[in-house]
Amino acid sequence: MAVLLNANDLFIPEFSETATVNNVSAEVIASELSADIQLAAAGANLNIDASIDVRVSVAAAEGQIVSFRGNSYRIAKIDTDSANITKRLYLEAQFGGG
């Protein structure tokens, strides 16, 4: 079976940025927060301020600290995509609003 997509197809320099996940530098892609994600977060009593996509190989766990675009966040939730290529980290501002 042919591989249709891999992480290198997504993490290209024109669209990727760098963040620090648990004191380790990682290539990331900023992702949009949709209205349904914000609504689901409200139902789960989460205050999601940002989300980023990282390679599935990046070690990340809920509660760890992420530094991104000059702000510090805690990982509130992690979802792995169905192809097991990326993880989306949902971030809460560590010190109030993001």
**CATH code, domain carrying 64:** 2.40.10.210
Residue 98 forms part of a structural domain? no
**With bands split at pLDDT 50, 70 and 90, how would you rate the model's confidence at 93?**
confident
Q: Is residue 38 part of a domain?
A: yes
Residue 1 lies in a domain: no
In a domain, 56, yes or no: yes
Domain of residue 41 covers: 7-93
CA–CA–CA angle 38, 39, 40 (5° rounding): 90
Backbone torsions φ then ψ of 41, nearest 5 degrees: -65, -40
DSSP letters of 49-91? Answer: -EEEEEETTS---TT-EEEETTEEEEEEEEEE-TTSSEEEEEE
| pLDDT tens sequence across 48-87 | 888 999 999 999 999 999 999 999 999 999 999 888 889 9
DSSP structural state of residue 96: S
Coil, strand or helix: which one is 42? helix
Q: What is the pLDDT of residue 33?
A: 63
Domain contains 2? no
φ/ψ bin of 63: left (φ > 0), alpha (ψ from -120 to 50), beta (otherwise): left
Each residue of 6-53: pLDDT tens digit?
Answer: 777 777 778 889 999 989 999 998 887 655 555 455 455 567 888 999
Greater pLDDT, 61 or 2 = 61
Would residue 70 count as lying in a domain? yes
Answer yes or no: is 77 within a domain: yes
At 98 the pLDDT is: 47
Tally of structural domains, the chain: 1
Q: Compute the radius of gyration of the chain from its Cα atoms.
A: 13
In a domain, 11, yes or no: yes
Q: Is the pTM of this model over 0.85?
A: no
